[in-house]
Amino acid sequence: MGVYKRENGSWQVKVRKAGINLSKIFASKAEADDYERQILYEISRKAYRDRREAERMTLGALLRRYKEEVTPTKRSAGIESVKLDVILRDKHLPLVRMSELTGKDIAEWRDRRLEHVTGATVNREIDVLSTAINHARREWGVNIPENPVHMVKRPKKANQRARRVANEEERYLIAALTPTQRREDGTFEKSARNPWLRPLVLLAIETAMRRGELLALDWEHVDLKNRTAHLPTTKNGDARTVPLSTRAVQILRALPGDHHTNGPVFPTTANALRKGFTRALARAREAYLQDCAQAGTAPRTKFLVDVHFHDTRHEAATRLSKKLSNVLELSAVTGHKDLRMLQRYYHPDAAELAKKLG
């Protein structure tokens, strides 16, 4: 036991005490001495934790294992997988060993992300990162003193989002999501290749269902005769049965293929939906600009700009509020337990409210 100089000039620490057998190499004697003192102190206090797994594993390896073993067990697997992929694409953070991971590493990654996305997006990615690290500490023996995410300042929350999809914007978006017929030469015009995206977006606007709920919807739980769609699991953990309008039933009946008694209503993935929706927005905006140029009118700068799939839920809640004046009925459809949360999605027009006042 002790600190020894090796032939190549490095320094080796060997600790054999209280059933613990460690050996580690350092570049300098000072580092080796500090390490030996720290280990012996922890052993004397019965506070020693084996760091070898943390020293072997990089954050990238941890996240990849978490994505493979843990993420598929979650209801939000598709969304979480996308967030993990975003973190893994960073050029620096995934390469850091867990034993050396600090709040500074995560803060620098946070700042890099904020150059491209909003604080709200980064906060959601930080949540996934923290959850994965906590799981590794509890379940995989990755012993680090604390989760470094807890030392990082979170980005400020932006003002509550109030973006609605205007009728004209919806018209261009749906057109961009509509698959086109093959040309005589065998090629296609620019259009959606995924036949499930258009009806999925239409149903989202009609029902206020979340993306995850739509992707998890199974024919076994759809009753077209009684116009209901049952969701056994939702974001808040409770089951919910969504009433279907006549329009919603028409959308479901018109879906391609046979209507089976089970199986997914929309056999596509969260990643395919995200990519397809983003591409459709770009095509829709391009078509709008072309129409403006042909008509000789100035395009609106915010037309189809900063539109997210989740905005369909905002729009649906607002439209449903005109049919369901009772806020409890509205919350039963949208699935909000807390009426304060419902306010984030319900955006009535002030002029329309003024008319109701008389």
Same domain? For 309 and 177 the reply is yes
Same domain? For 116 and 193 the reply is no
135 is catalytic: no
Tell me which residue range forms the domain holding 290. Answer: 167-357
C-alpha to C-alpha distances, 282 to 73, 161, 175, 272, nearest whole angstrom:
34, 21, 12, 16
The last residue of one of the domains, among 48, 65, 82, is: 48
Q: Looking at 5, 104, 182, 235, which residue is catalytic?
A: 235
Same domain? For 211 and 340 the reply is yes
Q: Is residue 43 part of a domain?
A: yes
Cβ contact 251:199 at 8 Å: yes
Q: pTM of the full predicted structure? A: 0.59
CATH code of the domain in which 345 resides: 1.10.443.10
Closest CA to 149 of 116, 110, 114, 95: 110
190 is catalytic: no
210 is catalytic: yes
Q: Is residue 162 part of a domain?
A: no
pLDDT (tens, 9 = 90+) of the chain, 358 residues, equals 687 678 788 887 777 766 666 667 777 878 878 777 776 766 666 655 656 667 778 999 999 999 999 999 887 788 899 899 999 999 999 999 988 889 999 999 999 999 988 888 899 999 999 999 999 988 887 878 789 999 999 988 655 666 778 889 999 999 999 876 655 555 445 666 788 999 999 999 999 888 888 998 999 999 999 999 898 877 666 788 888 999 999 999 988 776 666 789 999 988 899 999 999 999 999 999 999 999 999 999 999 998 888 888 888 888 887 777 677 777 777 777 666 666 665 666 677 666 667 5
62 exposed, middle or buried (CB, 10 Å; 0-12, 13-18, 19+)? buried
Q: Looking at 193, 259, 310, 337, which residue is catalytic?
A: 310
221 is catalytic: no
Quote the number of domains for the chain.
3
Same domain? For 227 and 323 the reply is yes
CATH code of the domain in which 117 resides: 1.10.150.130
24 is catalytic: no
345 is catalytic: yes
> Any idea what the Cα angle at residue 238 is, between residues 237 and 240, rounded to 5°?
135
Q: Is residue 88 part of a domain?
A: yes
Same domain? For 62 and 13 the reply is no
Same domain? For 16 and 91 the reply is no
Q: Looking at 198, 313, 314, 346, which residue is catalytic?
A: 313
Same domain? For 38 and 70 the reply is no
Q: Is residue 110 part of a domain?
A: yes
Same domain? For 271 and 305 the reply is yes
Same domain? For 30 and 131 the reply is no
Same domain? For 77 and 103 the reply is yes
Same domain? For 310 and 241 the reply is yes
Q: Looking at 210, 240, 279, 314, which residue is catalytic?
A: 210
